Structure 1
Amino acid sequence: MDSSVLEEVPIKDTLSVPGSSMGNHMARTRRRWSSSSADKRPKVSETTDGVHEDSKSDYISPGQLYSTESGRLFHAGKILIVLVGLPATSKTLLSVAITRYTKWLGVRTSSFHVSEYRRRMVNVDYDRFPNDYFSAKPQTAEGQALRTKILDQVLLDMLEFFKESKGQLAVYDALNILVEERTQLQKIFSERNIKVLFIESVMTDSEMIKHNVDMATKSADYADWPQKDAIHDYMHRLRVNRELYEEMTPKEQLSYVKYVNFGERLSVNNNHFGYLINKIVFFLMNLRNKKGCVYFARCGTSDNDKYVDDELLNAEGVKYSNLLTDLVLQTVNERRASQQPVSITPIGSASSPNSGLSSRSMSPSLSPLLATAASLRRTESTGNASMRQPASGDGGDEDSFVVWTAPRKRTHDTAKFFEERGITVRQRYQLQQLHPGLVADLTEDEVSQKFPEEYKEWKKDPYHYRFPRAESYHDLAVRMEPLLLEMERMRGDILIIGHESALRVLYGYLMACSCSDIPNLKFTRDELIEISFSPFENKVRRIPVVMNK
C-alpha cells in the first residue's frame, strides 16, 4: 500500500469569531470549539456505554483541551497500540480502558477486537469452529484459512482507520504472542509512519487468572453452555497457546510495556514516543482490575437550596441520608454475596477461598459490609513477612468501600451515617459543583430575560459555553481529571455524593457520553445509580430510593 495515501489532509475551518481583533494581535480568530456539539454524535441511551461508538471526523470529546485542523493532538502523530498476551490476561479490558481514556482526552481512538470480528464475520456457532482456530498456530488448513481471513480484515480496517477517518490511535486486541507476528506488524505500520507500541499483559497471579477465566465463560461464546464445560474449553485454549507463547524481550528491538498482574509491576522498554504515550503509561500505572461498582447519589435537601448559601440538611434531607445509607450498604452486600466464587479453585488451593471465613469475620457487628475472600486474605497476611502485604490507601483492596463527597455542608452531611458506621468518607474539592457565576440561583426563564445574548450562546453549546464569572462543563471536566485516575485506581466500591453537574461529568466519563449528552443527564434523589464494570463495556442499573411519606 502506498504510504502517501495515509498523509494528513488539512480541513478548512470556516467558523470564525465575529468582530475585529484589532489592538490584540494574539486574539483568537477562530472558534476553539464548534458552535454546537449536538450533531456530532447520535444521542445514546442513558444506559448505553458509548466507548465502542464510531466518532465523526469533527467530533469534540468532553475532556478535549484543544482542537486541530488535522484532528490529531499532542503532536503525537499516528499510533498503533498492540496488546500481547495469553487468553485470560485482561487484554480486552486493557484495550477498552485505554480507548475510553484517550477518547475522553479528545484523541480519535478506535479499538479493534479480533473476537468481535470473528463473531461478526463468521456465521457459524462457536462450538462448530475448527478445533485449532484459537491456537496462535493452527495445524489444519481450515483453521489457518479462517484465522488468516479474520486477521487480514482487522489489519485492513486499522489501515483504513488511519487513512480515512483522521484516526490517531488504534488499539489492536489479539493474542500476538509470536515474535514473527509482532515483527510483521511493526514493519507494516512503521513503513506508513505509524508508531507502534506493544503492551504485553502477563498474569502470574492465580486468583486473577481464575477471575478472568470466570469472566470469559460469561461471554457470548459460551451462551447456554454449562459453566464447567465452558471453563474446561477456555482453559484448553489457554494451555494450547501457553506452549507457543514467546514473551517479549529487548532482543526484538521493539517499543513495549510489560504489564504484570494488571499493574502490580510495569516496565517500559524503548519508549521514545513523547507526551501522549507517556500519558497512557501513567494511566496504566493507575489502572486496576475492579471488583466493585461506582454509585452516584444526589445530596440531601436543604431549606432554600441556594448556591450562595452553604446550608445544612433539613429534616427531609436527614431522612434521605439515613435511607440512602441503608440502601447502599444493602445493595453492596447483596452483590458481594452473589459474587462469592464457586466456579474454579485457584491453582495450589484445595478448596474455595471463602471456605475459611470464620463467623467472626462475617459478623455484621464488626462491619456493616459483608466479608469477602479479600477480607480473609488481608487478615491472614497482615504482619506475616512470608505473605504479600495488603494494599495501602483508599480503595486499594477489592472489598474496600469509600464515600466521596463535595466540601459543601449538606453534601458532606449526607454521608454522616456512613461515618457513624465506620465507613471511610472523603471530601474532594474537585467534586464542587459547576460554578454558575452571575446566573447563580436564577431559573432558565430569568437567565433568558436578564442575559439574552449569553443565553442564546449557551443554548448553542451548553457544554462549552460559560456564563460571566462562571465555569463551563468543560472547565469542570478538566478540573475533575485527577478523580478519573483515582476512580480507575480503586478496586472496590465507591459512592459519590454530589451535585448533579459533578455527577454528570463523572458518569459521562464512565459511560463515554458525548458533549451533547452530559448537560442533559438526569440525576434525581429518587434513584441510586450503579455502574458495574466488565471487560468489554460498563453497565448501568438504576435503583429506586423510596421515601416513605
Structure 2
Amino acid sequence: MSHPTVISDEEEDSVELYNGFGSQPISRNQMRTRKRWSFHENSKPNLVDSPLQAIPRRLSDITGVDGVHKQIDPLSELGGAQLYSTESGRLFHAGKIIIALAGLPGRGKTHLSVSLTRYLRWLGVKTHSFHLGDYRRASAEDDLTHDLFVPTPKSDKAHALREKVVNECLNDILNFFKNDKGQVAIYDAVNAKPEFRIQLHEKFSKLNIQVLFIESLVTDDSIVMKNIEEAARSSPDYKDWDYEKAYKDYSERINALAPYYQEMQSNDLEKQLSYIKFINFGERIELHNSNYGYLINKVVFYLMNGSIKSGSVFLARCYKNSLDYNFDPPLDDEGTRYAKNLTNTLIEQLKSEGKTYLEKIVPTSKPKLQRELSVDERQPALGMDGVDDNSLVIWTSVKKRTVETTQFLKEKNINVRHRIQLSQKNPGIVGSMSDEEIAEKYPDEYSQYIKDPYHYRFSRAESYHDLAIKIEPLILEMERMSGDILIIADDTILKVLYGYLLSCSCYDIPTLNFKTDEIIEIKFNAYSNTANRIKIKDFDEKVE
C-alpha cells in the first residue's frame, strides 16, 4: 500500500517556484486562465463554474470600519491589485517574512503596521498585523502599572504577564505561517533591547523565515506630541477614558520605557540583522544589510512614500455617471447646480469638523508652505500638495464634467489636479448595453462576467482589476500626502479606491453602491480607517 508523499513548506515553495514560472504568462485576454487565478487549496470554490451565490457579496452599505484586521479568508479573498495567485497562496518570488517593528510608544508603529498590511494585502500578499497590545489588553489586570511595559519588570506578576502575551503573539505568528499559509507577518511591539531583537531573529531564521526590523525613530518633538494626542483619543487602551487622563497616562508610559530603549546599531551585537531606520516617519530612511528580495523592496518603496496620515479622503461621483464612455460633454445647468451644491456641502462639512483653513486661503501665484522644510527632509512633489495638515487638494479625471465640477472650488484658489489614471472603466463592446441586453446578445460572456465581475473583462474593455493596477501611482501619492483630498470621478474608480482604503476583498468591490447625492468621507486612523456618508444638500431650496 502506497502512502501519500508529505511535502514540507520548503519543498512546497520550491515546487511552486518551478510551476509558477512555468505557468501560462499574464495576457491581455478578456478571460482569466484557471492557472493564473488558481487558489492555494483544492477546497477553494471555482468562481467560473460555481453558482453565483457562492461568491460572498458586500451589500450596498459602504460605511463602517475597514477590514484590515480581519482574518483573511483563503476561500474567498484576493487583493484588488493581485497579479496572480499560487497553489500555496504565497507569491513565488518572495518567501516567508516577518517584519518586526521597533521603537518607543508614540512613534507611529501601529499606524505603520496597519498601513503596510493594507498595502501588501492590496497587492495580494497574505499579510496580517499582530499587535502585542491586543494580547496585553486581552490578559491585562487592573492592578498592573506601567511596570508592565518595561523590558524587565520589578513585579513578578508583570513579568509573568509579559512572557505570556509575547509567547501567545509569537505562537500565533508561527501558526499564521504554518497553517494559514501566510507570507508576511507584521509584529507590532516595542522590541526595546538588542538581546530581544537577536532572539527574535534567531527564532524565525531557523525556520527559514526572513526577518526584517523597521525601527521608527522620531527626533521631532511635534510628531511625538501629535501621536500622543491621537493615541489619547483613539487608542483601544483608552476607550471611554477622559482625554486629559489618557494623555497623562500615555505620556507616563513613554517616560517609563524610554530609559530602557536601545537604538539599533550596526555594531558587533546586531550587525547580522537586516533593518530599516524610519526616521521622523519618512523624512529620512537608512538601510542596513539591504540585500533584499522583491517583496521587501516593495516595502522599502512604500516606506519612501509613507507619512503620518491626517485629514480625510472625500469621494464624490461625477455628474451623469451613466453617460456613455465615449461621450465628454460639458456640464449643463443641472450639472452646474450639482457642482455648487457639492462645493457648499463639502465646505459645510469641513467647518463642522473644526477645519477653517479654506477661509485663510488667499489668491497667490504659488502656494506657500505653512512651515519651512529642513535640508534633510524629503522634498515634496511638484505643487507641494499635501505637505500641510490644514490643506485641501482636489483630484478629478480628465473628463469635462469632472473638471468643471470643481469650478467653484477653483474660485477659492484650491489646488485641482486632473489625473488620467482616474478615467472610468472602459466597458468595451457592451458600453451602451443594459445587463439584460448583454445577457441576451453575449450569454456565454455574461455568465463568465457575473461569476467574477472584478477580474472579467469584455472584448476591448477594462476590468476593475485593470483599474487597480492603473491607480497604484495615485495610491502611493495619496499615502505621501497629509490634509484632505476630494476625488471626483466615475463610480468604477471610486469603488476601487474605496476598496483599497477600507481593505475590501476584490469580490466585494463591484457591488459597492455610490450614490450621486452623497459624498463618502474616509477618515484615517492609526488602527483602522472609517467611512461615513454625507448627504449633498440642495442650497438652492427656499427656506420658508
> When the two structures are superposed, what TM-score results if normalisation uses the length of structure 2?
0.86
Partner amino acid for 2:318? C
- SS of 1:133's equivalent in the other structure is helix
Q: How many residues align?
A: 500
Task: Write out the 4+ residue segments of structure 1 that deviate beyond 6 Å after TM superposition.
Answer: 10-13, 385-390
How far apart are residue 183 of structure 1 and its match? Answer: 0.4
Match of 1:267 among 286, 290, 302: 286
Partner amino acid for 2:98? L
Partner amino acid for 1:178? K
Partner amino acid for 2:88? S
The within-5 A match list for 1:373-522 is: 378-379=369-370, 381=372, 391=380, 393-522=384-513
How far apart are residue 388 of structure 1 and its match? Answer: 8.2
Conserved 8 A contact 1:10-1:69: no
How far apart are residue 329 of structure 1 and its match? Answer: 2.1
Q: Which runs of 5+ in 2 are unaligned?
A: 1-6, 17-23, 25-30, 39-45
How far apart are residue 389 of structure 1 and its match? Answer: 11
How far apart are residue 334 of structure 1 and its match? Answer: 3.0
Conserved 8 A contact 1:300-1:317: yes
User: CA 1:42/1:146 → structure 2, altered by over 3 Å: closer, same or farther?
Assistant: farther
Q: Which runs of 5+ in 1 are unaligned?
A: 14-20, 22-26, 339-361, 369-374
Q: Distance in 2 between matches of 1:484 and 1:29?
A: 28
1:173 and 2:188 matched: yes
With a CA cutoff of 8 Å and minimum separation of 6, indicate the structure with the bigger relative contact order.
Answer: 2
User: CA 1:436/1:32 → structure 2, altered by over 3 Å: closer, same or farther?
Assistant: same
1:323-364 residue CA offsets vs partner (Å, 9 max, x unmatched): 1111112222332449xxxxxxxxxxxxxxxxxxxxxxx793
Q: Which stretch has the larger CA shift, 437-446 or 500-509?
A: 437-446
Q: Distance in 2 between matches of 1:189 and 1:6?
A: 14
Q: Distance in 1 between matches of 2:165 and 2:371?
A: 48
Partner of 1:343: none
User: CA 1:31/1:517 → structure 2, altered by over 3 Å: closer, same or farther?
Assistant: same
Partner amino acid for 2:497? L
How far apart are residue 6 of structure 1 and its match? Answer: 4.8
How far apart are residue 381 of structure 1 and its match? Answer: 4.1
Match of 2:323 among 280, 305, 310: 305
Q: Distance in 1 between matches of 2:358 and 2:509?
A: 42
1:108 and 2:112 matched: no
Partner of 2:72: 55
Match of 2:47 among 36, 55, 63: 36
Conserved 8 A contact 1:88-1:209: yes
Conserved 8 A contact 1:96-1:111: yes
How far apart are residue 386 of structure 1 and its match? Answer: 10
The within-5 A match list for 1:8-87 is: 9=12, 30-33=34-37, 35-36=46-47, 43=58, 46=62, 47-58=64-75, 59-87=77-105
User: CA 1:28/1:263 → structure 2, altered by over 3 Å: closer, same or farther?
Assistant: closer
1:7-59 residue CA offsets vs partner (Å, 9 max, x unmatched): 4648999xxxxxxx9xxxxx997442255297576748632301111113343
Partner amino acid for 2:527? F
User: CA 1:301/1:6 → structure 2, altered by over 3 Å: closer, same or farther?
Assistant: closer
Q: Distance in 2 between matches of 1:428 and 1:162?
A: 39
Conserved 8 A contact 1:381-1:388: no
User: CA 1:74/1:7 → structure 2, altered by over 3 Å: closer, same or farther?
Assistant: closer
How far apart are residue 107 of structure 1 and its match? Answer: 0.5
Partner of 1:24: none
1:295 and 2:306 matched: no
How far apart are residue 67 of structure 1 and its match? Answer: 1.2
User: CA 1:438/1:281 → structure 2, altered by over 3 Å: closer, same or farther?
Assistant: same
> When the two structures are superposed, what TM-score results if normalisation uses the length of structure 1?
0.85
- SS of 2:505's equivalent in the other structure is coil
- SS of 1:456's equivalent in the other structure is helix
Q: Distance in 2 between matches of 1:50 and 1:306?
A: 33
Partner of 1:185: 200
Conserved 8 A contact 2:393-2:415: yes
Q: Distance in 1 between matches of 2:385 and 2:236?
A: 34
